[in-house]
Amino acid sequence: MSLNSCYHCGTDCGKKPILFNDKKFCCNGCKTVYEILNVNELNCYYDLQSTPGTVPAEIKGKYNYLENDDIIEKLLEFNDGETSVVEFYIPSIHCSSCIWVLENLDKLNDGVSNSMVNFPEKTLRITFKNRETNLKQLVELITSIGYEPYISLEDAEAKKSKVDKKLIYQVSIAAFAFGNIMLLSFPEYFAVQEFWLNKYKPMFRWLMFIMSIPVVFYSAKDYFISAYKGIKHRILNIDVPIALGISVLFLRSSIEIIFDIGSGFFDSLTGLIFFLLLGKVFQQKTYNFLSFERDYKSYFPIAVTKIIDGIEKNIPVKDIEKGDRLLIRNEELIPVDGILINGNASIDYSFVTGESIPVMKKSGDKLFAGGKQTAGAIEMEVISTMSQSYLTQLWSNDIFNKKNEISIKNITDSISKYFTIAILTIAFFAGIFWYYYNSSMAFNVVTAVLIIACPCALALSAPFAIGNMLRIFGYNKFYLKNAETIENISKITTIIFDKTGTITSNDKAQIIYEGDKLKTAEVRAIKSVLRASNHPLSRLLYEHIKEETLEKELINFEEVLGSGIKATINNMSIKLGSANFVGEKSLKINETAIYITINNKFKGYFIFKNSYRKGMKEVFETLSKTYKLIILSGDNEGEKSYLEKLLPKNTQFEFNQKPENKLEYIKILQEKGEKVMMIGDGLNDAGALAQSNVGIAISEDVNVFSPACDAILDAKLFNKLPEFLTLSIQTISVIKVSFIISFFYNTVGMYFALTGQLEPVVAAILMPLSSISIVVFVTIITNWISRKL
């Protein structure tokens, strides 16, 4: 290593190094990383670099039990031999710096593929390569950098959620001290001149001082930690004025007791902390309730095909039981763990591991939930059920998240920052004024200002309003991926609809066959190929054909999105799809059709007479008043004239669009400044759904899993689409109104604080009450505006 080598990455690029803390860095990026590690006391990173594989002495041997295969199997969520996934509960996660460090574990250990933090749940999910590292090494690594995981084998089996009781202890201590200090303060309140009270008054004051110490240094410690972390990162968060108010109260009160010049403000101090923590308990309980209810209700509207005595039946995923035999079609998600019975399994586990290379499986191999079958239909036997919340976790996986946009949360944080600056400025000048006007009031005024003006209510309105609306949407079978989706919906200017499977109904279409008469064996072979596909037309034709499938396995099954499917079965090479796909010229029948060739001989085609969804005309008429509407379809123009009569005049039509054409079409609109919503069937439209600002997949009764989409809408509720969009816009309006109410609170409270009419303990009571009232307001209003659903 040369003299000019970077302290962080060890490279010497030949340029003049950047000096910081007597160390040299090759660029500002390395310098920034060093600063973050240094601020969070994680400099052991550099020890790990210089002595790779070295385990700190204090934890050496502590995790030897993680070499036991039985224990490892209980802790791992996923293990296909090459890649494993594990989730740890880490109580010490508390700020954005923790998230940054834990989500960059791949820099510390090459075996880590990716690591993701769930901040509200304080969990860390790690995907790692079995050949390059193991569970024991990972636990030793994260423990050595200060994030020891909580590992309980009982929890590994039962998957119980861990409850952090620290807040309860903090509130309990604050409540005990507040009550007793109020009692000991009675002689001070009433200025009673009684011999024994006066005699023991000094002892009462010292008792109040002693009882306040655990309240300040334990119950209130999180406010100090948060404020310190914020200041270190040059961020003035909402905990800065709170920590400052607590510090001023404690120091002033302690000085009065120590020098016997007064009784201090320990009643106000402990009351402030108690009511702050009480508000936090309420917020936490309410948020947990909303999150739990949302998770419980937010089952994907997906089913799976269960085989019962040779008969295929669609059942909800939540009804799957151990021992069931399931049919998994091409592009379907495996909802539970199971054993492969028959079929060519090529499983894409990218939903779980981020690795897109399919894993080949043979009969008897174990299949894990979250994998996607990519080579035709397979049959499997269920060995363990799994809650749908696991699929929700996969769908919300950060691997599939879009680029972050400015959200209400960002706006809230920005407002809170400037709000804090304003509070500190006002408190400073108010203190100066009152010091010269009435010095005895200066301290009370400054303290009251710091307490009453905390923008907690401002910070709470958005998460509670959006959280409650997510719950309401989920209850009504409109499942949103995350909170940002509601805000993105509110900004939409253009809505694009796919045709087949989106505005058409799959259960009422009329199907007519034209062409050479098909033999029974050929019809059965066609149905066997259709059985492996998930395309809406394939599913429709499969249900239409009454013959049984062949008892033969498909060979070389392939599905080309937007074109068709092909496979070989019983020595018959079959192609089903568009005219171009099967190698024939289009017959210009101007209808939706599936063309058929068997052993390269054209046989004929199935014509689909589409039936449109209930309420489609009303949906388009309502949406056309607000949005630009476009039909973007891969089908031909056969039904264009009919749709032009049915739909509003300003509706645009684009037919014969391949999946890549749809994606480019949306991209061009976005370049023109349009905010685009794409509504499709979730399979052929995956690229368009991903490119759009908001992608909504319409779900029938099959297991089509699309991580590219932002929402899933039950097909039966297609006619409710305008109401869902209107509610999203109204939710943002509710948040903005709550912002105004919060500012009103602070303005009124500030007036009374600045004029010396507000005692600190009263301010401490009013502040959490304002937060609670905002939460109640947004919850009630969001429930009220959604009552029509």
- List pLDDT tens digits, range 469-510: 888 888 888 888 777 788 899 999 999 998 877 888 766 667
701 & 720 share domain:
yes
Residue 446, beta-bridge partner list = none
Give SS3 for 473: helix
pLDDT of residue 162: 47
The pLDDT of residue 404: 46
Coil vs helix vs strand at 63: coil
Residues near 432 by beta carbon (within 8 Å), at least 6 away in sequence: none
Q: What average pLDDT score do residues 170-194 get?
A: 79
How sure is the predictor about 675, in pLDDT bands with cuts at 50, 70 and 90?
very high
Please indicate whether residue 642 or residue 401 has the higher confidence score (pLDDT).
642
Residue 727 pLDDT greater than 90, yes or no: yes
> Using one digit for the tens of pLDDT, what is the confidence trace for 503-516?
887 666 678 888 88
Domain holding 659, by residue range, is 465-502+613-728
Give the number of other CB atoms < 10 A from CB of residue 80: 20
- Whether 779 is in a domain gets the answer no
* 582 and 516 part of one domain: yes
Is 355 domain-assigned? yes
CATH (domain of 556)? 3.40.1110.10
For 402-433, b where at least 16 C-beta lie within 10 A, e where not — what string? beeeebbeeebeebbbebbeebbebbeebbee
Mean pLDDT, rounded, for 112-124 = 80
What single string gives the DSSP state of each residue in 402-429? PPP---HHHHHHHHHHHHHHHHHHHHHH
- Among 650, 654, 660, CA closest to 637: 654
For residue 528, pLDDT over 70 is answered with yes
Q: Residue 750 in contact with residue 426, Cβ under 8 Å?
A: yes
| Residue 120 placed within a domain | yes
Q: Per DSSP, which regions of 349-461 are E strands?
A: 359-361, 366-367, 372-373, 378-384
Q: Is this structure's pTM higher than 0.85?
A: no
Residue 517 and residue 606 in one domain: yes
pLDDT reported for residue 395 = 55
Residues 80, 1 share a domain: no
The conformation of residue 550, written as its DSSP 8-state character, comes to P
617 is a domain residue: yes
Identify whether residues 637 and 696 lie together within a single domain.
yes
Q: Is there a single domain that holds both residue 573 and residue 677?
A: no
Cα–Cα distances in Å, from 487 out to 94, 100, 622?
27, 26, 20
Please compute the mean of the pLDDT values over residues 454-458 and round it to a whole number: 60
617/722 same-domain check? yes
Q: H or E stretch including 395?
A: helix 388-395
User: Domain count of the chain?
Assistant: 5
User: Quick one: 33 and 122 in the same domain?
Assistant: no
The stretch 365-392 carries a mean pLDDT of 76
What Rg value do the Cα atoms of the chain yield, rounded? 32
Residue 48 lies in a domain: no
763 pLDDT more than 70: no
| CATH number of the domain residue 682 falls in | 3.40.50.1000
- Asked which of 350, 371, 395 is the last residue of a domain, the reply is 395
* Per-residue pLDDT at 367: 86
Residue 51 pLDDT greater than 60, yes or no = no
Q: Examine residue 298 and state whether it is found in any structural domain, yes or no.
A: no
Please, what's the largest Cα pairwise distance for the chain?
115
Shared-domain flag, residues 509 and 656: no
Q: How confident is the model over 177-191, as a mean pLDDT?
A: 77
Task: Provide mean pLDDT across the span 134-151.
Answer: 83
Name, of 182-191, 544-553, 635-644, the range with top average pLDDT. 544-553
Check residues 51 and 381 and name the one with the higher pLDDT.
381
Q: Taking residues 34-47, report their average pLDDT.
A: 58
User: Does one domain contain both 676 and 552?
Assistant: no
Given a cut of 60, whether residue 705 has pLDDT beyond it is no
| Model pLDDT, residue 81 | 78
How confident is residue 45, by pLDDT bands cut at 50, 70 and 90? Answer: low
Domain boundary among 611, 641, 668: 611
Give kind and range of the element (H or E) at residue 306.
Answer: strand 303-308
pLDDT tens readout for residues 414-434: 566 676 777 778 888 888 988
| Burial (0-12, 13-18, 19+ Cβ within 10 Å), 247 | middle
Query: 512 or 293, which is more confident?
Result: 512
Phi, psi (5° rounding) for residue 239? -85, -10
What is residue 680's predicted lDDT score, i.e. its pLDDT?
Answer: 85
Q: Which residue has the higher pLDDT, 227 or 589?
A: 227
Beta strand pairing call for 711-714 and 601-612: unpaired
Q: What is the mean pLDDT of residues 283-300?
A: 48
Domain with residue 100: its CATH number is 3.30.70.100
* SS3 at position 159: coil
Q: Which residues contact 151 (CB under 8 A, 6 or more apart)?
A: 75, 88, 139
Q: Is residue 750 assigned to a domain?
A: no
Please provide the size of the chain in residues.
789
Q: Which of 539, 489, 507, 502 is nearest to 715 (CA)?
A: 502
In which residue are the tokens 């959280």 written? 467
Q: 89-103, 454-468, 646-660: which has the highest mean pLDDT?
A: 646-660
Residues 6+ apart with CB under 8 A from 288: none
In a domain, 134, yes or no: yes
Predicted confidence (pLDDT) at residue 299 exceeds the cutoff of 50: no
Task: Report the pLDDT value the prediction gives residue 295, as an integer from 0 to 100.
Answer: 40
Site of tokens 């009784």: 263
pLDDT of residue 214: 95
Residue 294: which residues within 8 A CB-CB, separation 6 or more?
467, 470, 471, 474
Question: Are residues 62 and 153 both part of a single domain?
Answer: yes
Of the pLDDT bands very low, low, confident and very high (cuts 50, 70, 90), residue 392 is: low
Mean pLDDT, the chain, whole residue set: 77
Residue 266 near residue 208, CB atoms below 8 Å: yes
pLDDT in the model for residue 456: 58
Residue 370 vs residue 302, higher pLDDT: 370
Strand 23-25 and strand 18-20: pairing?
Answer: antiparallel
pLDDT tens string 238-253: 677 778 778 877 888 8
Out of 109, 135, 158, a domain closes at 158
Give me the pLDDT at residue 493, please: 94
> Average pLDDT, stretch 567-587?
86
- Report the range of poorest mean pLDDT among 47-61, 535-549, 591-605, 638-652: 47-61
Q: Residue 322: pLDDT band by 50, 70, 90 thresholds?
A: confident
DSSP state of 68: -
Q: Is the pLDDT of residue 661 over 80?
A: yes
- According to DSSP, residue 519 is labeled P
Tell me the one-letter amino acid at 286: T
Same domain, 492 and 635: yes
pLDDT band at 598 (very low <50, low <70, confident <90, very high): very high
